[in-house]
């Protein structure tokens, strides 16, 4: 008859199944294929020339849009949480974890 000590497996002896390890390796294949495709298809001198023509004001515009999205997202959390819990502070809806 089995006892509780026979059933319990300690964390030191636990190993992931081989199928789980193989699945993790398969997840890396698309990443490696994409990176190798970009490296082989890109031309560094042409990329540098195009980067010199890039208008960097668009980066500031993108950062501003990201900030507005963050504020609107926090406002949405604050408004919708009012139906569930009344004590949520407005500043706590913008916390980044």
Chain segment 32-83, per-residue pLDDT in tens: 888 888 878 877 788 788 888 888 889 999 999 999 998 888 888 888 887 7
Contact 94, 70 (CB under 8 A): yes
Domain membership flag for residue 71: yes
Q: What's the pTM? A: 0.43
3-state secondary structure of 14: coil
Residues 73 and 95 in one domain: yes
| Cα separation, 88 vs 28, whole angstroms | 41
Residue 93 lies in a domain: yes
Our count of domains for the chain comes to 2
Host domain of residue 80: 55-97
Query: Distance between CA 2 and CA 80 in Å, rounded?
Result: 52
Are residue 24 and residue 39 in the same domain, yes or no? yes
């Amino acid at each position: 008859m089995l006892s509780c000590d026979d059933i319990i497996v300690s964390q030191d002896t636990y190993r992931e199944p081989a199928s789980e390890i193989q699945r993790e390796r398969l997840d890396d294949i698309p990443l490696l294929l994409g990176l190798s495709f970009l490296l082989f298809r890109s031309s560094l001198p042409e990329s540098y020339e195009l980067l010199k023509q890039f208008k960097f004001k668009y980066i500031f515009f993108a950062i501003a849009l990201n900030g507005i999205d963050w504020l609107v997202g926090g406002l949405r959390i604050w408004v919708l949480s009012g139906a569930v819990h009344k004590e949520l502070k407005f500043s706590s809806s913008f916390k980044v974890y």
